[in-house]
């Protein structure tokens, strides 16, 4: 898939998150079905926080404030990018979990999604200045450039859309 197609699919995924908010009451949005399974609010908090941190990093790469690197993708990244999926049982890196604020309402989630979409469009408008060698480190996948981060955000966002469907089916 081309970079433009990946970006458009990412925006479409963010739109799907917004649409899915209509499926929740404030109570069901916060409800944890099991202690070891995230509530919908936690999924939304994770995806908006992780993606917004990524966009912040992408801006650093645009400003040549990232790591200059010509290396290839790590093997784990290659597998994820090739399959478009995460390996089963993979957990969010601790650094992301610690930095994820709580979403207290559906309105907060909607605002976070709107801000994310706006930030994505802002960084996309600068794609002509994206460097393939300015890279930021993913906690598990190694160094990624902005084109690769777009693909990662798409795969990650789709992964958590499926998680929301699984949570909903468990009720």
pLDDT digits (tens, 9 = 90+) for 27-72: 999 999 998 899 999 999 999 999 999 999 999 999 999 999 999 9
pLDDT, position 82:
96
Fold for the domain defined by 3-169: 1.20.120
Average pLDDT over residues 99-124: 94
pLDDT, position 106:
98
Helix pair angle (3-20, 146-169), 10° resolution = 30
Exposed e or buried b per residue across 124-135, where buried means at least 16 C-beta atoms within 10 angstroms of its C-beta = beeeeebeeebb
Looking at the predicted structure, is the pLDDT value of residue 96 above 70?
Answer: no
Looking at the predicted structure, is the pLDDT value of residue 91 above 90?
Answer: no
CA dihedral 43, 3, 148, 103 (to 10 degrees): -20
| Alpha-carbon span 122 to 136, nearest angstrom | 19
The pLDDT > 90 percentage for the chain reads 84
Q: What is the pTM of this model?
A: 0.93
């Amino acid at each position: 898939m081309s970079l433009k197609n990946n970006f458009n699919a990412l925006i479409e995924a963010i739109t799907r998150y917004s649409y899915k908010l209509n499926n929740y009451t404030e109570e069901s949005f916060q409800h944890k079905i099991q202690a070891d399974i995230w509530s919908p609010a936690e999924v939304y908090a994770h995806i908006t926080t992780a993606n917004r941190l990524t966009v912040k990093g992408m801006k650093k790469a645009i400003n040549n404030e990232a790591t200059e690197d010509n290396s290839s993708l790590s093997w784990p990244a290659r597998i994820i990018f090739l399959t478009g999926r995460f390996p089963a049982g993979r957990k969010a890196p601790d650094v992301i979990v610690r930095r994820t604020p709580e979403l207290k309402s559906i309105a907060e989630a909607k605002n976070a999604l709107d801000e994310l979409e706006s930030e994505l469009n802002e960084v996309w408008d600068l794609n002509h200045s994206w460097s393939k060698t300015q890279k930021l480190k993913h906690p598990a996948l190694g160094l990624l450039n902005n084109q690769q981060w777009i693909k990662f955000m798409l795969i990650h966002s789709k992964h958590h859309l499926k998680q929301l469907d699984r949570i909903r089916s468990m009720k």
